[in-house]
């Protein structure tokens, strides 16, 4: 019978205790149940839990943030497939199985014969399911819509690759770095911001980038749940954000905003508070979410870090 109660205890009850100990400067090494033998079970965001009878040895990561988490856990040499753009030192022999546009190479992935497939809900779920059925690999859908999700992913993947101590330590480091930034911003007033991922399409609060901006004391003028299409420029002009954030893959420039008669009068454009964020940093629920928060916090509140 799968050890569901154990995994839920480990990933749920022990994580807050572990992170609290880390924040207090105490030992972060796991003890007791964290060294329990396999099988292990983690839930992720899928309908079914992920169960492994032994640590994964041939891993295909279909998401760059997931691949980078696995590398940070010391299992880069077990990655046999990774997506384009993933930065994973030690995974030099891994085959690229996902294109820059997110298309999965099914034939290549199936040929790698993975025992664990890691993806997020952004991936084509039909393809992910087919890979799991055809190879018999366990499938883990990593939550990736918030900083807390990145912490959970570190813990879950730690168990799946047989490195529970490193998983807990990595989650603790992420939480500690986020706590430091939020402490520095404790007395800072929020600023209004528009987040542009290209063609004035923005993000909801329930997304990694939206969560990062909110934690950095930015208030999206588009609201917590904007629609999927471009944000109306007339509404953007009326909301008049103090800061304009855009991702590096958006092709939006300060010059293009100045050339547009509607956006030229926005406060952020007139004050040149226009910031380009590296998409590879701020859109991946991986080990570098703390650094992503630092980058955004400095962009929104430069005076708080003088």
Looking at residue 289, what DSSP letter applies? Answer: H
Assess contact for 91 and 77: CB atoms under 8 A: yes
pLDDT at res. 14: 42
pLDDT at res. 30: 43
In Å, what is the CA distance from 20 to each residue of 25, 225, 292?
Answer: 9, 32, 22
What is the number of structural domains in the chain?
Answer: 2
pLDDT at res. 37: 75
pLDDT at res. 10: 43
Q: Are 172 and 251 part of one and the same domain?
A: no
Instruction: State the Cα–Cα distance between residues 35 and 131, nearest whole angstrom.
Output: 30
Instruction: State the Cα–Cα distance between residues 1 and 95, nearest whole angstrom.
Output: 35
Assess contact for 302 and 82: CB atoms under 8 A: no
Q: Are 74 and 134 part of one and the same domain?
A: yes
Q: Are 230 and 284 part of one and the same domain?
A: yes
Residue after which a domain boundary falls, among 130, 149, 180: 180
Q: Are 290 and 258 part of one and the same domain?
A: yes
Instruction: State the Cα–Cα distance between residues 233 and 230, nearest whole angstrom.
Output: 8
Q: Are 172 and 56 part of one and the same domain?
A: yes
Q: Are 33 and 92 part of one and the same domain?
A: yes
Looking at residue 115, what DSSP letter applies? Answer: S
Q: Are 221 and 112 part of one and the same domain?
A: no
Question: Domain containing 250 — which CATH number?
Answer: 3.40.50.1980
Residue after which a domain boundary falls, among 157, 180, 203: 180
Helices (H) and strands (E) in the chain, counts: 13, 11
At 20, list the tokens. Answer: 């609290």
Q: Are 260 and 291 part of one and the same domain?
A: yes
pLDDT at res. 5: 41
Contacts 24+ apart (CB under 8 A), 230-233: 230/199, 230/200, 230/201, 231/194, 231/200, 231/201, 231/202, 233/200, 233/260, 233/262, 233/263
pLDDT tens, residue order, the chain (306 aa): 444 444 443 444 444 434 433 443 333 444 444 455 789 999 999 888 999 999 899 999 999 999 999 999 999 999 999 999 999 999 989 999 999 999 999 999 999 999 999 999 999 999 999 999 999 999 999 999 999 999 999 999 999 999 999 999 999 999 999 999 999 999 999 999 999 999 999 999 999 999 999 999 999 999 999 989 999 999 999 999 999 999 999 999 999 999 999 999 999 999 999 999 999 999 999 999 999 999 999 999 999 987
Residue found under tokens 């859109």 = 283
Residue after which a domain boundary falls, among 163, 180, 197: 180
The dihedral sign for the CA sequence 209, 215, 221, 223: positive
Assess contact for 56 and 79: CB atoms under 8 A: no
Q: Are 252 and 139 part of one and the same domain?
A: no
Segments forming the whole domain that contains residue 172: 4-180
Count the Cβ atoms, other than its own, within 10 Å of residue 264.
Answer: 12
The dihedral sign for the CA sequence 207, 209, 162, 140: positive
Instruction: State the Cα–Cα distance between residues 173 and 170, nearest whole angstrom.
Output: 5
Q: What is the pTM of this model?
A: 0.86
In Å, what is the CA distance from 182 to each residue of 41, 86, 243, 293?
Answer: 33, 28, 19, 9
At 52, list the tokens. Answer: 């492994």
pLDDT at res. 38: 86
Give the Cα-Cα-Cα angle 141, 15, 61 (nearest 5 degrees): 25
Q: Are 154 and 267 part of one and the same domain?
A: no
At 304, list the tokens. Answer: 């708080």
Q: What is the phi/psi pair of residue 166, to 5°?
A: -65, -35
At 72, list the tokens. Answer: 């940070």
Q: Are 8 and 51 part of one and the same domain?
A: yes
């Amino acid at each position: 019978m799968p050890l569901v109660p154990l995994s839920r205890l480990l990933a749920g009850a022990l994580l807050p205790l572990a992170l609290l100990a880390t924040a207090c400067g105490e030992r972060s090494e796991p003890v007791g149940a964290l060294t329990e033998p396999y099988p292990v079970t983690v839930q992720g965001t899928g309908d079914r839990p992920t169960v492994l009878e032994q640590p994964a040895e041939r891993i295909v990561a279909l998401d760059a943030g997931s691949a980078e988490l696995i590398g940070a856990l010391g299992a880069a040499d077990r990655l046999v497939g990774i997506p384009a753009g993933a930065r994973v030192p030690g995974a030099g022999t891994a085959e690229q199985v996902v294109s820059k546009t997110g298309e999965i190479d099914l034939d290549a992935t199936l040929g790698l014969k993975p025992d664990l497939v890691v993806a997020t809900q952004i991936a084509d779920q039909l393809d992910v399911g087919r890979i799991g059925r055809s190879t018999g690999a366990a499938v883990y859908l990593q939550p990736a819509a918030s900083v807390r999700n990145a912490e959970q992913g570190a813990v879950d993947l730690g168990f799946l690759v047989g490195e529970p101590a490193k998983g807990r330590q990595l989650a603790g480091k992420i939480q500690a770095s986020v706590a430091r930034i939020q402490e520095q911003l404790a007395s800072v007033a929020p600023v209004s911001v528009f987040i542009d991922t290209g063609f004035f399409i923005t993000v909801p609060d329930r997304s990694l980038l939206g969560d990062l901006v909110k934690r950095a004391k930015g208030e999206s003028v588009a609201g917590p749940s904007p629609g999927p299409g471009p944000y109306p420029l007339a509404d953007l002009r009326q909301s008049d954000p103090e800061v304009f954030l855009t991702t590096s893959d958006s092709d939006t420039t300060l010059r293009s905003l100045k050339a547009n008669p509607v956006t030229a009068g926005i406060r952020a454009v007139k004050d040149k508070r226009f910031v380009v964020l590296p998409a590879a940093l701020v859109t991946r629920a991986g080990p570098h979410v703390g650094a992503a928060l630092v980058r955004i916090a400095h962009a929104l509140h430069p005076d708080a870090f003088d």
